[in-house]
Amino acid sequence: MAIDAQKRRLFRRQPSSSIRPPYSRTDADFTDLCNRCQLCIPTCDTGILIAGDGGFVEVDFTKGECTFCGKCQQVCEAPVFNPEQAKPWSHLAVVAHHCLAFEGVMCQTCRDNCDVTAIRFDLHAKPAPTPHINPDLCNGCGACVASCPVQAITMKVPTSTD
The answer to the question of residue 142 lying near ligand SF4 (CB under 6 A) is yes
- Binding of ligand SF4 by 146 (CB under 6 A): no
80 lies in the binding site for ligand SF4 (CB under 6 A): no
Q: Select the span of 6-14, 24-32, 77-85, 92-100 touching ligand SF4 (CB under 6 A).
A: 92-100
Please tell me whether residue 128 binds ligand SF4 under the rule CB under 6 A. Answer: no
Q: Note whether 45 binds ligand SF4 by CB under 6 A.
A: yes
- Max CA pair span of the chain: 62
What is the helix (H) or strand (E) element at residue 119, kind and residue range?
Answer: strand 119-122
Question: Residue 99, interface with ligand SF4 (CB under 6 A)?
Answer: yes
Instruction: Please state, as a whole number, how many other Cβ atoms lie within 10 Å of the Cβ of residue 97.
Output: 8
Stretch that binds ligand SF4, among 7-15, 29-37, 79-87, 115-123 (CB under 6 A): 115-123
- 142 close to 107: Cβ distance less than 8 angstroms: no
Residue 153's identity, in one-letter code, is: I
Q: How far apart are CA 130 and CA 103, in angstroms?
A: 9
Distance, CA of 69 to CA of 124 (rounded, Å): 38
Among 109, 131, 106, smallest CA distance to 120 is for: 131
Q: Which is nearest to 146 in space by CA: 60, 20, 55?
A: 60
CB nearer to ligand SF4: give 31 or 40.
40
Nearer Cβ to ligand SF4 (10/90): 90
Using the rule CB under 6 A, which residue among 66, 76, 80, 146 binds ligand SF4? 66
Three-state DSSP class for residue 154 = strand
Q: Does 18 bind ligand SF4 (CB under 6 A)?
A: no
Residues found near ligand SF4 in the complex (CB under 6 A): 21-22, 43-46, 48-49, 66-72, 93, 95, 99-101, 107-110, 113-114, 116, 118-119, 131, 133, 138-144, 147-150, 152-153
